[in-house]
Structure 1
């Protein structure tokens, strides 16, 4: 059997009402033939753990609730050790339609005019071609703030810098998997700004998403206010780390430069 290149990582916390349908969709032939599934169960107190086990997918269960970011980062480490070339992360609540997976996969393998492949492909809710998606006034305020901060820090404007639907190259996954390279609580626009400043190639494409029908979002109630406050200072810390301290400067180019050097040496040897 040919080894699959893609690992779909799904962080899950008390998602018994939705994850079965998500797995149903992921098990369709057009998805199953290109991707394996890893569910990161963050100490759920419901039946999430048992549902995934019964379906036979890879599963990691935390003993204690460690947070969304910790689940993703452990998933990245799993992907590197298992030799996957790409990771696509999506939510367990059914908001991210699985039809986006082949599209993101193809975009990750598509070289741009500058000769580089994307390191991060963002599935956007707000591009032409995206499905209609309603967001609250509080979230709209947060989006405007984060777009402004991103534009100021990087010169880039992204339609949906907080999307959780993302495809990552092995180079980006390897970077994220290392100590102190990833926010273990709320990896969001702060991580996208970091990766742009480190010169990883970040692109976005239209995505199909749905409103959450059951369960409780991690951004419900007053949580968006705390989230926006925390994210504001996290973004400032990322900017200071990358632009002032210049930690890991140019990390996003290292793999590309190595590839160019190998091609140059091969060409010289041929001549």
Structure 2
């Protein structure tokens, strides 16, 4: 026995309404209840009062009822998709915050006692077991009178990055889930602030950033000439083997940041940087992956004195770059624009 279409739609509408009521009764989710009510009303109208859509169609200058129904249904669907995207993003943000909090707790026992001026060097590392040991062991004990405290954040590595990084005096924490370079830096920054670091340096774990240029990087901050110092391969030497398209892309994104923030930097994606520790907490950092533009724009917004110094970028000692090509360009563009307007 076949049910009439209007009765079938009515049953479906009633089921949706009961689902929304149950969700609100169990989780008190107003948004889900409202979505269920809207969907149920729409289906009830199609089944029993279809002339309502004729009235809506006249308002919108649409003559055919099915076109009006399709338009409203697609608008509702888009709204539901956006709501789900928002839920997913909020859930991911909570998971990432929890992950970083757990990772910071790992470092509590290893944090220095603050008896000297501290230079925290944050090294985000993802599957860098072949290079991380050499990077950590090459760091000096002091730079410009500051005690060097390396902080290695193994960002969901599937290899022995964390094990290889451990040496006396080195803080090593692990993210159980990959957070991206921005997320790893946020973990390292929080640990550095707990240490009371006077200066915080960031450098990569693949051996491309020259340890011998640490003093030149931090000196403008020590001498109170700058609050944020960036290394520039374009003022110095680039041996990384970047192809022409990538170099052109970096220059294009750098120009975009300069136009939007009235800056005059030359290398916006360089991860070799030094920041005055007392200013770090003022920066609003939310970006999980494409963190370099966010840091620069936030520094400009907060009135930090920026300076660039020439550095040498070496070729990776081992492994391959973790940056996606097309996704990297899209991510940088999104980060620059959202950080600028917020």
Asked whether the two chains share a fold, i.e. TM above 0.5, the reply is yes
Q: CA RMSD in A?
A: 2.1
Alignment-derived partner of residue 173 in structure 2 = 60
Higher Rg of the two aligned structures: 2
CA offsets, 1:46-79, max 9 Å, x none?
1111112355511111111121111111111111
Instruction: Tell me whether 1:170 sits opposite 2:277 in the alignment.
Output: yes
Within the candidate set 69, 76, 86, 2:182 is matched to: 69
Q: Which structure dedicates a bigger proportion of its chain to helix?
A: 2
Contiguous gaps of at least 5 residues in structure 2: 1-113
Matched, 1:210 2:314: yes
Contact 2:125/2:155 (<8 A) preserved? yes
Q: Of the candidates 218, 237, 244, which is equivalent to residue 105 of structure 1?
A: 218
- Separation of aligned partners in 2, 1:171 and 1:182: 19
Which structure would you say has the larger RCO, counting Cα contacts within 8 Å and 6 or more residues apart? 1
C-alpha separation between the residues in 2 aligned to 1:215 and 1:192?
28
State the partner residue of 1:198.
302
Instruction: Using structure 2 for the length normalisation, give the TM-score.
Output: 0.62
TM-score (norm 1): 0.77
Q: Contact (CA 8 Å) 2:221, 2:228: kept in 1 or not? A: yes
1:123 maps to what in 2? Answer: 231
**Cα gap change, 1:191/1:29 in structure 2, threshold over 3 Å: closer, same or farther?**
closer
SS of equivalent to 1:156 = coil
**What pairs up with 1:1-271 in 2 under 5 angstroms?**
2-26=115-139, 28-29=140-141, 34-112=147-225, 118-127=226-235, 130-133=236-239, 134-176=241-283, 181-219=285-323, 223-241=324-342
CA contact (8 A) 1:120 1:172 kept: no
Q: Which runs of 5+ in 1 are unaligned?
A: 113-117, 242-271
CA distance in 2, matches of 1:140, 1:188: 16
